[in-house]
Structure 1
Amino acid sequence: MNRIDTHHHMIPPDYRKVLRQAGIDDAGGRALPGWSPEESLQTMAELGVATAILSVSTPGTTVLPVAADAAALARDLNDYSAELVAARPDRFGFFATVPMPHLDEAVTESVRALDKLGADGVVLLANSAGTYVGASGQDELFAALDARSAVVFIHPADLPGPTVDGVQPFAADFLLDTTRAAYLLVRNGIRRRYPNIKFVLSHAGGFVPYASHRMAVSITGDVGGSPADHLDDFASFYFDTALSSSAAALPSLLAFAKPGHVTFGSDFPFAPVAVSKLFAAGLETYGGLDAAGRRAIDRDNALALFPRFGAVAPPRAPSLVDQIRHTASRTVMRGVVRLMSAQ
């Protein structure tokens, strides 16, 4: 029981009522599951989780299009979360709900939640009613978060477009949604202008590790700069393992992410306990990790983000494998730079 789960959702009773009143009974194509603090604690026991950082998943406050209504819902959700954490501070933390895309209200609630409620960070949907994290005009919010060295959990939402018949959004669209947000955060220079923000990308970053070199080249052709620097910006994100610690996904994630930048995630209750156990087992049995590497993902890397949950272990020195992986990435980028310069 030592894991820290950075991707663990809650569905408070009043929030469920708001969704029902809006005619919403699913998220990402999956029916809304049951949830209670007691169910979270039971699941945590089964997954070996000591502490879960709670967050509200999509659609969040976007279910209420009026800014004042969205802000009121965010306040209610964050007050509920703070009370829950106050009752079990050793077992729960929370990412505050932010009423995007309403920028003024989002700044106000972020500041209140972080400064007065003791939130462990904020959750931002990759897109809120079609407005993406990282789009132009959001500097006021990022400045407030940067001043507080905030942890920002990026969670996907339904894509701002029609669904494809037979493709459940959570299965593929969510991964693209997260990738789009990450792309804009790098492309528009937000990662570099606000270096104190620790962005955590859901589900191993969507397609980011796999497509990082391609995206770095695209950004260079679009706005200039160095593809190697853009690649470093992508690698500077944190990534959780929710639904992603498989034999196919883990090698790509671990080859790309900076050491110390991968955290454990269960995606409960949207992922049934059996599914969360399956992916947790993949992490436990993956041959590319030693005991120290697993311990880092399970707990130590999250402790660096949330030190209140225990003594922070000293940063793990990059292993020889880590060094080889990152050297290989830089070598590829240098080759790309030479090719672009020759054209």
Structure 2
Amino acid sequence: MSATKRTEGAGTEPVPPLPGVLDVHAHYVTPALRAALEAAGHGRPDGMPAIPDWSPEEALALMDRTGVAAALLSVSSPGVHFGDDAAARALARRVNEEGAALVAAHPGRFGLLASLPLPDLAGAREEARYALDALGADGIALQTQYGGRHIGDAAFEPLLGDLSARGAVVVLHPTSPACFEAVADGFPRPMLEFPFETARAVAGLVLGGALDRHPGIRFVVPHAGGALPVLADRIAAFALASGNDVDVYGHLRRLYYDLAGFPLPRQLPALLTLTDEEHVLYGSDFPFTPGWVVEGMAATLARGVGFARGDGVFRRFAGA
């Protein structure tokens, strides 16, 4: 769809800027998750000022103001694993069941992208089965790396095989690189490290052959591809020079990308040299992106920018 322009007239209600779209990059923060983050020393996750406040009522009000039909809820970085496998399994189960309860309480307005307790592979495979089968999750949220290994690493191959066999949707989310203390220069990691982490993870999936081995997964890449739009030619050139005959451009064209963050005025035009509008989906990044920023970006995106509604990927919402 092409985003609809806001139109207002005398005696009429304002038309939301993005009527009927799905928000594929929206987060939730339950009290249990907040407590676990704070207890693990993540009160300023990835160097951000604080864990943002979130409530379903506030999220729904923002969705109504922007016209979003439904939001796919996920846990943001740093996820649910803070060093202990058993605790991570318990927290993943807790937040996934809380997310499923939010979906049940607000039919048609929320979907769930389940969290997994990686790098605990056995726990992650079991939680993926539970979330998809018992909870009816709409997909899986995976971070770009776990324990210093990007998601295309051979360590995660069994999980990717499971998800491909099920035709699952996987929405990627960047996290702080393992060496962030050496490279972030004290800045919040979402500023620079997240876009490069996204590029590293996707390049690994492409060049390592994971996308060829697991064609059943529909991947959604965050933040308009991060640094990928400006690095794609370098990735393709180095692949060719090293004798890797993978179809870099073909894979990048077939991936889906969300528009969370600040895709305009520069990033989205670059992304559309790699793929088409049908592979570009809306994302708000609320509440880590404040509501007033989300509203401003939604209004900007509505000015003639084309992107898909999202129900072709999240088919439960088709026709909603």
TM > 0.5 between the two? yes
User: Normalising by the residue count of structure 2, what TM-score does the alignment of the two structures yield?
Assistant: 0.89
Q: What are the within-5 Å matches in structure 2 for residues 175-324 of structure 1?
A: 175-222=195-242, 224-226=244-246, 229-286=247-304, 289=305, 293=306, 296-297=307-308, 299=309, 302-311=310-319
CA contact (8 A) 2:229 2:267 kept: no
* Residues matched between the structures, number: 299
The DSSP-based 3-state class of the residue aligned with 2:155 is coil
Query: Is 1:137 aligned to residue 155 of structure 2?
Result: yes
The residue number in structure 2 matching 1:52 is: 71
- Cα shift readout 1:299-336 (whole Å, capped 9, x = no counterpart): 2xx11011211339xxxxxxxxxxxxxxxxxxxxxxxx
Query: Is 1:147 aligned to residue 155 of structure 2?
Result: no
Q: What are the within-5 Å matches in structure 2 for residues 11-22 of structure 1?
A: 11-22=29-40
**Whole-angstrom distance in 2 between the partners of 1:204 and 1:210:** 11
**Whole-angstrom distance in 2 between the partners of 1:47 and 1:149:** 30
**Whole-angstrom distance in 1 between the partners of 2:211 and 2:241:** 18
- Report which stretch shifted further, 20-29 or 231-240: 20-29
CA RMSD in angstroms comes to 1.6
AA aligned to 2:167 is: S
The DSSP-based 3-state class of the residue aligned with 1:7 is strand
AA aligned to 1:185 is: L
**Whole-angstrom distance in 2 between the partners of 1:34 and 1:180:** 30
Give how far 1:259 is off: 4.2
The residue number in structure 1 matching 2:145 is: 127
Give how far 1:8 is off: 0.4
The residue number in structure 2 matching 1:28 is: 46
The DSSP-based 3-state class of the residue aligned with 1:260 is helix
- Cα shift readout 1:261-282 (whole Å, capped 9, x = no counterpart): 1100000000011211222222
The DSSP-based 3-state class of the residue aligned with 1:255 is coil
Instruction: Kindly indicate whether structure 1 or structure 2 has the higher relative contact order, using CA contacts under 8 Å at least 6 residues apart.
Output: 2
Give how far 1:29 is off: 2.2
The DSSP-based 3-state class of the residue aligned with 2:80 is helix
CA contact (8 A) 1:245 1:282 kept: no
Aligned with residue 84 of structure 1, among 90, 94, 102: 102
- Cα shift readout 1:93-151 (whole Å, capped 9, x = no counterpart): 01000111111111111111111110000000101232211012322101110111100
Give how far 1:159 is off: 1.4
Give how far 1:16 is off: 0.4
CA contact (8 A) 1:62 1:128 kept: no
CA contact (8 A) 2:144 2:173 kept: yes
**Whole-angstrom distance in 2 between the partners of 1:235 and 1:215:** 14
The residue number in structure 1 matching 2:56 is: 37
CA contact (8 A) 1:245 1:280 kept: no
Structure with the largest fraction of helix: 1
**Whole-angstrom distance in 2 between the partners of 1:199 and 1:216:** 19
Query: Is 1:168 aligned to residue 188 of structure 2?
Result: yes
**Whole-angstrom distance in 1 between the partners of 2:276 and 2:130:** 31
User: Normalising by the residue count of structure 1, what TM-score does the alignment of the two structures yield?
Assistant: 0.83
**Whole-angstrom distance in 1 between the partners of 2:201 and 2:68:** 29
CA contact (8 A) 1:62 1:100 kept: yes
Aligned with residue 115 of structure 1, among 116, 130, 133: 133
**Whole-angstrom distance in 1 between the partners of 2:52 and 2:243:** 43
